[in-house]
Chains A and B, each alone.
Chain A
């Protein structure tokens, strides 16, 4: 089955800097890759997603890139703000199958 590895597990940046979180997946048939943000004590919420027919997607300060050949995808947050501090999860899914998550990255943005 699918396996998703996520790095780093913790990331600390200064406000205004960029943050990059990377994930790799094992099943080459996976075709949907969402990113979720989870604040303390709450359920994860989708922030951006990408499908396998696209190499990059951007939404304001957030972007995701996908390299299907290498089976990895990354989340890029520019101009980080303290409210970006949270735990971020990547995930992968094949067709209508199960959604498998990475281990999470705790992002801390220091003012």
Chain B
């Protein structure tokens, strides 16, 4: 069966420090991968979307970047965190093709102080 792992679960980082959040998927190949951010207002904002290794679509201009070094690994990074980067970050995946369920990780609660 397929599973998605996202870590860490919580993170407190000072302003200006770097960030690296990792997401891995097991039990499938060539998934579509996503990073979403959820602020206090509850909405799921799409940050990055990837259809394959090295193929990253950035949805909004921001202080973050994403990389996909392996087929089932998706990394969210920042060189220097801002207070506004605080939020709940969610990784998700679904199989290629239409009409397929997307599965979410358990999320990372990031607090920038």
CA distance A45 to B107 in the complex (A): 12
Point out the residues of chain A lying under 8 angstroms from B27, CB to CB.
none
Measured CB to CB, the nearest residue on chain B to A87 is B42
| A111 contacts chain B at the CB level, 8 A cutoff | no
Give A58-111 interface residues, CB cut-off 8 Å to B.
Answer: 87, 89, 91, 93-96, 98-104, 106
> Is A51's CB under 8 angstroms from B99's CB?
yes
- Chain A CB within 10 Å, residue with most, of B49, B90, B104: B104
> Is A43's CB under 8 angstroms from B90's CB?
yes
> Is B44's CB under 8 angstroms from A89's CB?
yes
B6-19 to A contact mask, C-beta < 8 Å, 1/0? 10000000000000
Q: Which residues of A contact B (CB under 8 A)?
A: 31-32, 34, 36, 41-46, 49, 51, 87, 89, 91, 93-96, 98-104, 106
Measured CB to CB, the nearest residue on chain B to A1 is B59
Partner pick for B98 among A36, A44, A93, A104, CB 8 A cutoff = A93
* Total contacts A-B at CB 8 Å: 64
Point out the residues of chain B lying under 8 angstroms from A44, CB to CB.
44, 90, 104
Give B47-70 interface residues, CB cut-off 8 Å to A.
Answer: 49, 51, 57, 59
Query: Interface size of B by Cβ–Cβ distance < 8 Å?
Result: 29
Point out the residues of chain B lying under 8 angstroms from A45, CB to CB.
104
Q: A41-B109, A43-B104, A99-B94 given as contacts; is B43 within 8 A of A104 (CB)? A: yes
| B113 contacts chain A at the CB level, 8 A cutoff | no
CA distance A32 to B92 in the complex (A): 16
> Is A101's CB under 8 angstroms from B99's CB?
no
> Is A99's CB under 8 angstroms from B92's CB?
yes
CA distance A102 to B36 in the complex (A): 13
> Is A46's CB under 8 angstroms from B101's CB?
yes
> Is A43's CB under 8 angstroms from B107's CB?
yes
Other than the known A31-B99, A99-B94, A99-B102, what 7 A-B pairs have Cβ atoms closer than 8 Å? A31-B98, A44-B44, A96-B32, A96-B98, A98-B46, A101-B44, A103-B42
